[in-house]
């Protein structure tokens, strides 16, 4: 290929066809997009070093040699609401419809370590997820679900150790050994300080809990993914595609460094690190983002951490379509949006996928809407043909240019964060939060000025009647949970409860691993709030940084 000749011919083409400079267009990450791409836009492109082959370093084209020709991605629908009984029925419905793994949503009190009868829980019990106050609730939630066969993802962070302990205890009651359990806990507290806010403890004790889980699971629950780094939530807060990758990677680097500092070998726990990414609406940029992320992570693991195991180099990720892209206006349009987003995730090489339901901008999804979301995945997998070959967009001049540029921009951000002392220091100083807030502000201004068109929101509006048939959580859910808590406290062994909580407190005040004492508290039917209150007394609570 004569690159000089191509460059000359491209200039002639521009002179013939582009009489005036075309309007500048930028991607969501601020990258200027050319009218047409040629080899000129990827001058340093090295096929073997930058692209390579699927299943081999640097994994740009995918982490498995045959990708979806071997097995399609795990299909999950993020689900959980009201009581454990109602969520259990929804999980069984989804499994009957062909879902291949569970993805559990917990309500806000569960996420921040309060029981349903705590005053702060008023109005939030069972609203955005299922209420889990104790092992008794978890037993009901997983009743009739064979844990040795089903992989379960739990979106839980500050209280991840407690919920994992409950899951293990239920498995024990089912006769399933911890070593046979497969699944994921999100367990990514650092991004909570950046994006979502469901933190409890300050960063340092939070990091201790995370590394305790790493250590415990490497011995006892070896098939469990001990952390799912939440790039998704950083994107939902307003980050660009490049920032989503960069800030999540910087946070993951902090976790890995903490694990190594705690005495763990990088190859003993890095293979169990997984990810949850957002798949946003800019279709081709999202495809390129996943490819860039895989390549950048492989290089970080091999070069920065000197990992020797190829499994440590692999970026294994779950993807959820963008909740922030859903609109309450003309909600059926969301079916189109989420289909493109799901397709981008598949073309980008995800290992697991959940598609938002079209009515989620208005309420929790109904059975009909959640089935449509699952069918979207099944149609892509079995009818579209995109699974027939690996990385079908690889080699596109535009895709490769975007891939290179996102990798470069993400790498530049990581270097800046290293300069300020790493992710924990960058969060404590408010740097990452400020960057995300500024990106979110710019995006919102573009919508308000109609520079960015949102169909049905700032253009192509229609008069709409109120949406009917939305799912509403019965406000009596809290009464059910409070009654269950009263019965639980009256039926358990008070001495065992007190002794297990006291033992956990002693270890929290020292340097030992907290997973075993937490598991003992769970087995004694201590409540989530009781466990977290003891840890609050030892660790304190985090006070957020206010940025202006």
Sign of the torsion formed by the C-alpha atoms of 382, 388, 390 and 394: negative
Residue 333 and residue 417 in one domain: yes
Residue 259 and residue 116 in one domain: yes
Does residue 526 belong to any structural domain of this protein? Answer: no
d(CA 539, CA 519): 19
Helices 397-419 and 431-448: angle between axes, nearest 10 degrees: 140
**Residue-averaged pLDDT of the chain:** 94
The answer to whether 130 and 155 have CB atoms below 8 angstroms apart is no
* Mean pLDDT on 351-374: 93
Per DSSP (E only), the strands in 193-272 are 224-225, 227-230
- 546: confidence class by pLDDT, cuts 50, 70, 90: low
Tell me the range of 266-270, 294-298, 539-543 where mean pLDDT is highest.
Answer: 294-298
Tokens representing 22 are 């075309």
Does residue 310 belong to any structural domain of this protein? Answer: yes
Residue 7 and residue 76 in one domain: no
Does residue 537 belong to any structural domain of this protein? Answer: no
- Taking only the tens place, the pLDDT of each residue in 416-435 is 999 999 999 999 899 999 99
With a cut of 80, say whether residue 149 has pLDDT above it.
yes
Does residue 473 belong to any structural domain of this protein? Answer: no
Residue 37 and residue 92 in one domain: no
Among residues 448, 468, 493, the one where a domain terminates is: 448
Does residue 545 belong to any structural domain of this protein? Answer: no
Residue 131 and residue 63 in one domain: yes
Sign of the torsion formed by the C-alpha atoms of 329, 334, 336 and 338: positive
The pLDDT value given to residue 419? 97
Among residues 448, 466, 500, the one where a domain terminates is: 448
List the Cα angle 442/445/448 in 5-degree steps.
Answer: 155
With a cut of 90, say whether residue 30 has pLDDT above it.
no
- 28: confidence class by pLDDT, cuts 50, 70, 90: confident
Q: Which domain holds residue 8?
A: 3-41
Tokens representing 469 are 């048939």
With a cut of 60, say whether residue 548 has pLDDT above it.
no
Tokens representing 88 are 């259990």
Strand order in the sheet with 273-279: 74-75, 352-354, 317-321, 273-279, 227-230
Query: What secondary structure letter does DSSP report for 196?
Result: I
Tell me the CATH number at 425: 3.20.20.240
Residue 188 and residue 227 in one domain: yes
Does residue 17 belong to any structural domain of this protein? Answer: yes
* Mean pLDDT on 1-16: 87
Per DSSP (E only), the strands in 212-336 are 224-225, 227-230, 273-279, 317-321
Distances (CA, A) of 106 to 74, 273, 352, 480: 21, 21, 20, 16
Does residue 499 belong to any structural domain of this protein? Answer: no
Residue 52 and residue 35 in one domain: no
The residue length of the chain stands at 548
Residue 88 and residue 74 in one domain: yes
Residue 23 and residue 58 in one domain: no
Residues whose CB falls within 8 Å of the CB of residue 272, separated by 6 or more in sequence, listed in order: 214, 217, 218, 222, 224, 225, 226, 227
Residue 74 and residue 36 in one domain: no
Residue 139 and residue 267 in one domain: yes
Tokens representing 366 are 């109904």
Number of domains in the chain: 2
Does residue 525 belong to any structural domain of this protein? Answer: no
Please give the model's pTM, rounded to 2 decimal places: 0.90
* Mean pLDDT on 167-188: 96
Place of tokens 């689900």: 79
Among residues 433, 448, 463, the one where a domain terminates is: 448
Query: What secondary structure letter does DSSP report for 102?
Result: E
Query: What secondary structure letter does DSSP report for 345?
Result: H
The pLDDT value given to residue 534? 98
- 79: confidence class by pLDDT, cuts 50, 70, 90: confident
* Mean pLDDT on 404-409: 96
Residue 317 and residue 253 in one domain: yes
């Amino acid at each position: 290929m004569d690159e000089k000749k191509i460059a000359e011919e491209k200039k002639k083409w521009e002179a013939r066809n582009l009489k005036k400079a075309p309007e500048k267009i930028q991607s969501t990450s601020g990258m200027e997009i050319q009218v047409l791409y040629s080899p000129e836009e990827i001058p340093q492109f090295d096929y073997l070093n930058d692209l390579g082959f699927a299943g081999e370093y640097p994994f740009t084209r995918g982490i498995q040699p045959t990708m979806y020709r071997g097995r399609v991605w795990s299909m999950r629908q993020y689900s959980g609401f009201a009581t454990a009984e109602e969520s259990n029925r929804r999980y069984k419905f989804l499994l009957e419809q062909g879902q291949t793994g569970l993805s559990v949503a917990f309500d806000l009190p569960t996420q921040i370590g309060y029981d349903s009868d705590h005053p702060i829980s008023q109005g939030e019990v069972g609203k955005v997820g299922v209420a889990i106050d104790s092992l008794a609730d978890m037993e009901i939630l997983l009743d009739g679900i064979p844990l040795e066969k089903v992989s379960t993802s739990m979106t839980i962070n500050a209280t991840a150790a407690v919920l994992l302990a409950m899951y293990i205890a239920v498995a024990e009651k089912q006769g399933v050994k911890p070593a046979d359990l497969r699944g994921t806990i999100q367990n990514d507290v650092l991004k909570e300080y950046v994006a979502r806010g469901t933190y409890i403890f300050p960063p340092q004790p939070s990091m201790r809990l995370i590394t305790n889980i790493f250590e415990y699971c490497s011995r006892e629950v070896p098939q469990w993914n001990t952390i799912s780094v939440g790039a998704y939530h950083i994107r939902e807060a307003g980050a660009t595609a490049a920032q989503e990758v960069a800030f999540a990677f910087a946070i993951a680097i902090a976790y890995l460094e903490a694990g190594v500092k705690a005495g763990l070998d990088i190859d003993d726990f890095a293979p169990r690190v997984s990810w949850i990414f957002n798949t946003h609406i800019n279709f081709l940029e999202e495809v390129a983002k996943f490819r860039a992320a895989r390549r950048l992570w492989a290089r970080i693991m091999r070069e920065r951490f000197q990992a020797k195991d190829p499994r440590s180099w692999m970026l294994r990720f779950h993807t959820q379509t963008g909740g922030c892209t859903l609109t309450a206006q003309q909600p059926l349009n969301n079916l189109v949006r989420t289909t493109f987003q799901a397709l981008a995730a598949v073309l980008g090489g995800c290992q697991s996928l959940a598609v938002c339901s079209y009515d989620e901008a208005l309420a929790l999804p109904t059975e009909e809407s959640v089935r449509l979301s699952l069918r979207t995945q099944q149609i892509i997998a079995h009818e579209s043909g995109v699974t027939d070959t690996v990385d079908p967009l690889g080699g596109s001049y535009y895709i490769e240019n975007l891939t290179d540029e996102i990798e470069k921009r993400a790498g530049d951000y990581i270097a800046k964060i290293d300069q300020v002392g790493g992710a924990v220091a960058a969060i404590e100083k408010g740097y990452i939060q400020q960057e995300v807030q500024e990106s979110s502000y710019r995006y919102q201004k573009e919508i308000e000025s109609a520079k960015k068109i949102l169909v049905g929101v700032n253009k192509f509006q229609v008069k709409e009647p109120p949406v009917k048939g939305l799912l509403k959580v019965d406000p009596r859910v809290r009464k059910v949970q409070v009654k269950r808590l009263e019965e639980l406290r009256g039926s358990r062994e008070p001495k065992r409860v007190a002794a297990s909580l006291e033992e956990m407190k002693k270890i929290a005040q020292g340097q030992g691993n907290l997973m075993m004492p937490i598991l003992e508290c769970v087995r004694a039917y201590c409540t989530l709030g009781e466990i977290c209150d003891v840890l609050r007394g030892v660790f304190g609570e985090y006070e957020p940084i206010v940025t202006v």
